[in-house]
Amino acid sequence: MIGFLIKKTFFDLWDNLFRIALVNLGFVLSAAIPILLPTVLADVPFVALLVIILGSFWCVVYLTATALSVKSISDYSSFGFADFFANIKKAIPTALLLSAVAAFWLLLAYIALPFYAKLGTMVGLFAASLVFWTLVILLMTFQYLLPIRARLDHKAGKILKKSFILFFDNPLFSIFLFLHNTVLLVLSFFLAFLAPGPAGILLFLDEALRLRLLKYDWLEAHPEADRRHIPWEELLAEDREKTGTRSLRSFIFPWKD
């Protein structure tokens, strides 16, 4: 399943490379607002802080709209820029949830963890360890927030609940997603975040959730089946046929096929 996930994501990314690059460019320009503009407004601290807060929230809205848009690519379709702009309005409630979740994570990471670590006692060490592993679990769980919003639900409580269920039911898969996205992030740095970039990472996460949901559809239809032996070859047969195979020549010179 993992091999096919990587293959399908690469094919879909390549087929929509120009669109993905444009969406990533929009994010890079958006990120410049809270990162660069406050330095110009350093003499007006209140305005600079306001720019950081509003600019950061806009970036979260933009990422959420991107997640809603790339879902169509996973589903063997595509999206236009009219669709993307329409998704911006739909993204605001989820962006509020994501911002709150991110703020809570940062609070634990930059206040709670250093506080307990500096106590120098066994209780402090235990509390710091507890906070650390909480941060790790939350980080792994948060990977599912936007794909779940795009595919399964729009209610904040249900998005959070399903994210935790997916993580605890698929811990190794979640770790793989995190490591793979770390590689994509490093690669994006060398490509000025135009590819694969945030849009490519969100596309990969959506592809991952889409394929993982096949497991739950099958288990629902076969409640007595062994959860440790999922017939992935059977479940992925239709997607393999739709995705097909390609040669190196077809990637570089698709018009010659």
Task: Tell me the pLDDT of the chain averaged across its residues.
Answer: 93
pLDDT band of residue 253 (cuts 50, 70, 90) is: low
Q: What is the distance between the alpha carbons of residues 78 and 115, in angstroms, rounded to a whole number?
A: 48
Please give the share of the chain, as a percent, with pLDDT higher than 70.
Answer: 96
250 has a pLDDT exceeding 80: no
pLDDT digits (tens, 9 = 90+) for 107-137: 999 999 999 999 989 999 999 999 999 999 9
pTM of structure: 0.94
pLDDT band of residue 256 (cuts 50, 70, 90) is: low
34 has a pLDDT exceeding 90: yes
Instruction: Give residue limits of the domains in the chain.
Output: 2-16+94-256
Mean pLDDT of 228-239: 93
Please give the share of the chain, as a percent, with pLDDT higher than 90.
Answer: 88
Mean pLDDT of 39-44: 86
Tell me, what's the pLDDT at 81?
85
